[in-house]
Amino acid sequence: MTIPAELAREQDIKAGTRLEWSKGRSGEFRVRPLPDRGDLARRLSGIGRDWLPAGADPIGDLIRERMAEDEEDRPAQTAPVSVAPRRG
């Protein structure tokens, strides 16, 4: 499908841009460009920060929690056992 150059520039539509199609009440087709994954990630980045208490570090908390779980799962280390050489 070819989109007129003026509309493509206006809507920042390039080769590979995903489009959402719908049909209006009177039968006309409507199309809108969908943001790419990179754009979506940038838009969502930090979206929940406003609800965090001051000084909160949820990523650091998660890392510390996982490290503690790893320590719990690791078998207890015992002192190395020395074996006397065989005689004989």
Instruction: Give residue-wise pLDDT tens across range 46-81.
Output: 888 888 899 899 899 999 999 999 988 887 666 666
- As a whole number, the mean pLDDT across the chain is 86
- Examine residue 62 and state whether it is found in any structural domain, yes or no: no
How many percent of the chain have pLDDT more than 90? Answer: 43
Q: Please give the model's pTM, rounded to 2 decimal places.
A: 0.43
> For residue 48, what pLDDT is reported?
83
Q: How far apart are CA 76 and CA 11, in angstroms?
A: 61
DSSP-derived letter for residue 74 is: S
Question: Is residue 88's pLDDT more than 70?
Answer: no
Q: Within a domain: residue 69?
A: no
Query: What is the average per-residue pLDDT within 1-17?
Result: 91
Kind and range of the H or E element at 21? strand 19-23
Q: Do 46 and 59 contact (CB within 8 A), yes or no? A: no
Q: What pLDDT digit, counting tens, does each position of 17-39 carry?
A: 999 999 999 999 999 999 888 88
Cα gap 12→32, rounded to integer Å = 11
Q: Which domain holds residue 36?
A: 1-43
Q: Count of domains in the chain?
A: 1
Q: Residue 18 carries which DSSP code?
A: -
7 located within any domain: yes
Instruction: Please report whether residue 10 resides in a domain.
Output: yes
Asked if residue 84 belongs to a domain, the reply is no
